[in-house]
Amino acid sequence: MRPEQPARNRSLELAPARNFDKSPAMTQAFKTFGVIGGGAWGTAIAQMLCRDGQDVTLWCLEAEVADAINTVHENTVFLSGVPLKPALRATTNLADLYNLDALFAVAPAQHTRSTLAALKGHIAPGTPVVLCSKGIELSSGKFMTQVLADALPEASPAVMSGPSFAIDVAKGLPTAVTLAVEDESIGSELIQAISTPTFRPYLATDLLGAEIGGAVKNVLALACGIALGKGLGRSAHAALIARGSAEMTRLALALGADRETMSGLSGLGDLVLTCSSETSRNMSCGLALGRGESLESIMGARNAVTEGVATAPVLRRLASEHGVDMPICDAVAAVIEGEISVDDAITTLLMRPNKAESVLA
Q: State the sign of the Cα–Cα–Cα–Cα dihedral 203, 205, 207, 213.
A: negative
Annotated binding site for NAD(+): 37-42, 166, 281
Is there a contact between 33 and 100 (Cβ–Cβ < 8 Å)? yes
Residue of 159, 202, 154, 160 whose CA lies nearest to 14: 202
Q: Which residues are catalytic?
A: 217
What is the maximum alpha-carbon separation in the chain? 63
Distance, in Å, from the CA atom of 34 to the CA atom of 187, rounded to the nearest integer, reads: 17
HSE-CB for 335 with a 13 A CA cutoff: 32
What's the burial of 269, exposed, middle or buried (CB within 10 Å: 0-12/13-18/19+)? buried
Annotated binding site: 37-42, 134, 162, 164, 166, 217, 270, 280-282, 305, 307
If residue 56 lies in a helix (H) or strand (E), which one and from where to where? strand 55-59
**Residue 126 DSSP class:** T
Q: Are strands 175-181 and 156-161 parallel, antiparallel or unpaired?
A: antiparallel
Q: In sequence order, which residues have a C-beta less than 8 Å from that of residue 148 and are 6 or more positions away?
A: 105, 112, 116, 129, 131, 155, 157
Q: State the sign of the Cα–Cα–Cα–Cα dihedral 91, 92, 98, 102.
A: positive
Annotated binding site for sn-glycerol 3-phosphate: 134, 162, 164, 217, 270, 280-282
**Cross-strand bridge partners of residue 57:** 34, 89
Q: What's at 138, amino acid-wise?
A: L
Q: In sequence order, which residues have a C-beta less than 8 Å from that of residue 289 and are 6 or more positions away?
A: 222, 225, 226, 229, 295, 298, 335, 342
Annotated binding site for substrate: 134, 281-282
**Roughly how many angstroms between the first and final C-alpha of the chain, as a whole number?**
23
